[in-house]
């Protein structure tokens, strides 16, 4: 099968790049296993952890993806990413000027660039934007840590009350020990009768608070559950992310996929890219685990780091499996014994030139690009820049392909 561009990967990076290419009239195929790190998303996107993120970017070492882009390009790609998220129906809050803060599942505040609209946030990192909130969560739902949240928000000066609720459908769910998880709760709240029942509980119990806060389980198939609940209760409804599975992350991924496909993009879901062919120094095709061979003008490697499967580590070292790209690893041990210290393996990734063309055998391949988590030279967790690098490099690569 023939496309203009084939992208290996299916997460935020691949979809962002794919949408940008597709909306500029290119025929694009994504090859993806179907899992991505959006499934444990924090409901926020980080650009860079610093008081003034764009300023801080200017002094990064040359090996950092942001240094290759330059602060000006980072800013404009970040703005374009926000626009594309909007096109996909993913409303966000935040600016590149200064970070704001999202409330984590532990109830703490964490810096971010964009937060998904509806997430409980703080503009200054010291206090919430609300003086009184009521927490509502399903009885027996273990992935919402109400005590932690109450205590931490309380310490920031917000009055918090905590309420559990039960719905007949959730009572049935709970009879199966593993069924009381975020996705199941979200699916239950997709249903009108359940939402109405919840609304009446909230109306009865919440009292006079500025906002009602729930775990991020507000609908799975329907995008407007939060707004509907807000109308039914006449209260502002907000949410706090949960650990696995991140319902909002999965919803965002599905929205991006729909947008990509509505623009003519093709997704080879459940396929793993396994091999490639070359012609005269260029990549000619990629073959998937299900035996489909895809030819294209350009190829984009957006397959993520180790979790995503873009990189693989064995006892001897780190490799990129589809193209055999050059990989940059830090000197010495790839791990440190304290998990909360920077882990060298986090900065591993494929080697690219200044325009994210992938190096193989030390030479840049003219029609093979890399973007997102598979890139080397940065620590997404410690720098809080995972999503930022993902979307800005994805759009840079898309631009270069369009202008090629």
Partner 1 sequence: MNKQYDVIIIGGGATGAGVARDCALRGIKALLIERHDIATGATGRNHGLLHSGARYAVNDRESAEECIKENMILRRIAAHCVEDTGGIFISLPEDGLDFQAKFIESCLAAGISAEAIDPKQAIALEPSVNPSLIGAVKVPDGSVDPFRLTAANILDAKLHGADVLTYTLVEELIIESGKVVGVKVVDTVTKERSEYRASITVNACGIWGRDLAAKAGVTINMLPAKGALLVFGHRVNNVVINRCRKPADADILVPGDNITVIGTTSSKVPFDQCDDMYVTREEVDLLLREGSMLAPALNYTRILRAYAGVRPLVASDDDPSGRSVSRGIVVLDHATRDGVEGFVTITGGKLMTYRLMAEWTVDLICKKLNIDAKCTTAEALLPGSTTPDAGCKRTTACFSGAKSSAFYRHGDKAQQIDHSTAAKRALVCECEQVSVGEVEYAVGKLGVTNLVDLRRRTRMGMGTCQGSLCAARAAAVMATTSGCSSAEAKSNLKSFIAERWKGMSAVAWGDTLREGELLSWLYDGVCDLSNLNTTEE
Helix 12-23 with 247-262: angle, nearest 10 deg? 20
CB of 312 to partner 1, least distance (A): 8
Residue 134's closest CA among 65, 209, 70? 209
From 11, 18, 53, 107, residue interacting with partner 1 (rule: CB under 8 A)? 107
CA 388 from centre of chain: 10
Judge whether 106 and 56 are in contact, CB under 8 Å: no
CB of 3 to partner 1, least distance (A): 29
Instruction: Name the residue with tokens 């909002």.
Output: 248
Asked if 105 is part of the footprint of partner 1 (rule: CB under 8 A), the reply reads yes
Asked if 56 is part of the footprint of partner 1 (rule: CB under 8 A), the reply reads no
Instruction: Choose the stretch contacting partner 1; rule: CB under 8 A; options: 35-43, 59-67, 190-198, 284-292.
Output: 35-43
Asked if 162 is part of the footprint of partner 1 (rule: CB under 8 A), the reply reads no
How do 132-138 and 109-112 pair as beta strands?
Answer: unpaired
**234: cis peptide before it, omega within 30°?**
no
Please, which residues bridge with residue 266 across strands?
Answer: 29
**CA angle at residue 316 from 315 to 318, to 5 degrees?**
95
For residues 79 and 155, which CB has a smaller minimum distance to partner 1 in the complex? 155
Asked if 145 is part of the footprint of partner 1 (rule: CB under 8 A), the reply reads yes
For residues 259 and 305, which CB has a smaller minimum distance to partner 1 in the complex? 305
From 62, 177, 331, 362, residue interacting with partner 1 (rule: CB under 8 A)? 177
From 73, 87, 274, 313, residue interacting with partner 1 (rule: CB under 8 A)? 313
**DSSP label at residue 342:** P
Asked if 332 is part of the footprint of partner 1 (rule: CB under 8 A), the reply reads no
**CA angle at residue 345 from 341 to 347, to 5 degrees?**
90
What count of other Cβ atoms lies within 10 Å of the Cβ of residue 295?
A: 15
One character per residue 238-277, x = contact with partner 1 (rule: CB under 8 A): ---x-xx---------------------------------
Rg (CA), the chain: 22
CB of 28 to partner 1, least distance (A): 28
Instruction: Choose the stretch contacting partner 1; rule: CB under 8 A; options: 54-62, 92-100, 153-161, 284-292.
Output: 153-161
CB of 80 to partner 1, least distance (A): 25
Instruction: Choose the stretch contacting partner 1; rule: CB under 8 A; options: 194-202, 260-268, 287-295, 376-384.
Output: 376-384
Residue 357: enclosing H or E segment and its boundaries? Answer: strand 357-360
* Token pair listed for 161: 């009350």
From 61, 62, 142, 280, residue interacting with partner 1 (rule: CB under 8 A)? 142
Asked if 334 is part of the footprint of partner 1 (rule: CB under 8 A), the reply reads yes
How many whole angstroms separate alpha carbon 163 and alpha carbon 140? Answer: 12
Asked if 307 is part of the footprint of partner 1 (rule: CB under 8 A), the reply reads yes
CA atoms within 13 A of residue 290's CA, in its CB half-sphere: 10
From 378, 386, 391, 401, residue interacting with partner 1 (rule: CB under 8 A)? 386
Residue 272's closest CA among 285, 290, 256, 260? 290
Judge whether 401 and 21 are in contact, CB under 8 Å: yes
Asked if 328 is part of the footprint of partner 1 (rule: CB under 8 A), the reply reads no
CB of 82 to partner 1, least distance (A): 21
Instruction: Choose the stretch contacting partner 1; rule: CB under 8 A; options: 68-76, 177-185, 205-213, 224-232.
Output: 177-185
Asked if 37 is part of the footprint of partner 1 (rule: CB under 8 A), the reply reads yes
Main-chain dihedrals φ then ψ at residue 150, nearest 5 degrees: -55, -50
Site for partner 1 in 338-357 (CB under 8 A): 338-340, 343, 345-346
Asked if 122 is part of the footprint of partner 1 (rule: CB under 8 A), the reply reads no
How many whole angstroms separate alpha carbon 304 and alpha carbon 78? Answer: 19
From 108, 203, 278, 285, residue interacting with partner 1 (rule: CB under 8 A)? 108
Q: How many residues bind partner 1 (CB under 8 A)?
A: 55
Asked if 62 is part of the footprint of partner 1 (rule: CB under 8 A), the reply reads no
Distant-in-sequence, close-in-space partners of 269: CB < 8 Å, separation ≥ 6: 10, 32, 34
How many whole angstroms separate alpha carbon 356 and alpha carbon 370? Answer: 6
Q: Which stretches of the chain bind partner 1, using CB under 8 A?
A: 37, 40-42, 104-110, 139-140, 142-143, 145-148, 150-152, 154-156, 171, 174-175, 177-178, 180, 241, 243-244, 305-307, 312-315, 334-340, 343, 345-346, 380-382, 386
């Amino acid at each position: 099968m023939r496309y203009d561009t084939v992208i290996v990967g299916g997460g935020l990076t691949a979809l962002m790049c794919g949408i940008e290419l597709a909306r500029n009239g290119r025929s694009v195929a994504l090859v993806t296993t179907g899992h991505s790190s959006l499934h444990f998303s924090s409901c926020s996107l980080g650009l860079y952890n610093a008081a003034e993120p764009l300023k801080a970017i200017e002094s990064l070492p040359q090996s950092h993806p942001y240094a290759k882009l330059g602060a000006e390009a980072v800013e404009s790609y970040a703005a374009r990413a926000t626009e594309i998220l909007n096109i996909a129906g993913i409303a966000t809050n935040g600016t590149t000027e200064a970070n704001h803060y999202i409330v984590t599942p532990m109830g703490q505040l964490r810096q971010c660039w964009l937060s998904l609209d509806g997430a409980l946030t703080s503009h200054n990192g010291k206090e919430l934007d609300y003086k009184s909130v009521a927490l509502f969560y399903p009885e027996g739902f273990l992935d919402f840590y109400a005590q932690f949240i109450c205590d931490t928000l309380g310490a920031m000066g917000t009055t918090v009350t905590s309420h559990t609720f039960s719905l007949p459908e959730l009572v049935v769910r709970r009879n199966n020990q593993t069924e009381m998880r975020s996705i199941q709760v979200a699916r239950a709240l997709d249903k009108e009768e359940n939402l109405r029942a919840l609304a009446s509980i909230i109306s009865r119990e919440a009292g006079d608070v500025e906002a009602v806060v729930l775990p991020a389980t507000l609908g799975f198939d329907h995008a407007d559950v939060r707004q509907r609940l807000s109308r039914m209760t006449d209260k502002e409804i907000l949410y706090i992310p949960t650990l696995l599975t991140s319902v909002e992350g999965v919803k965002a991924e599905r929205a991006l996929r729909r947008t990509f496909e509505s623009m003519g993009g093709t997704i080879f879901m459940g396929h793993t890219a396994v091999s490639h062919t070359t012609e005269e120094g260029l990549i000619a095709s990629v073959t998937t685990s299900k035996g489909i061979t895809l030819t294209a003008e350009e190829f984009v490697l957006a397959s993520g780091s180790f979790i995503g499967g873009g990189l693989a580590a064995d006892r001897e070292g780190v490799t990129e499996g589809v193209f055999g790209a050059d990989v940059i690893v830090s000197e010495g041990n790839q791990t440190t014994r304290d998990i909360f210290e920077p882990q060298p393996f986090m900065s591993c990734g494929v080697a690219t030139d200044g325009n994210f063309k992938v190096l193989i055998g030390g030479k840049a391949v003219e029609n093979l690009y890399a973007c997102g988590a598979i890139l080397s030279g940065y620590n997404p967790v410690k720098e809080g820049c995972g999503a930022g690098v993902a979307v800005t490099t994805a759009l840079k690569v898309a631009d270069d392909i369009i202008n090629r």
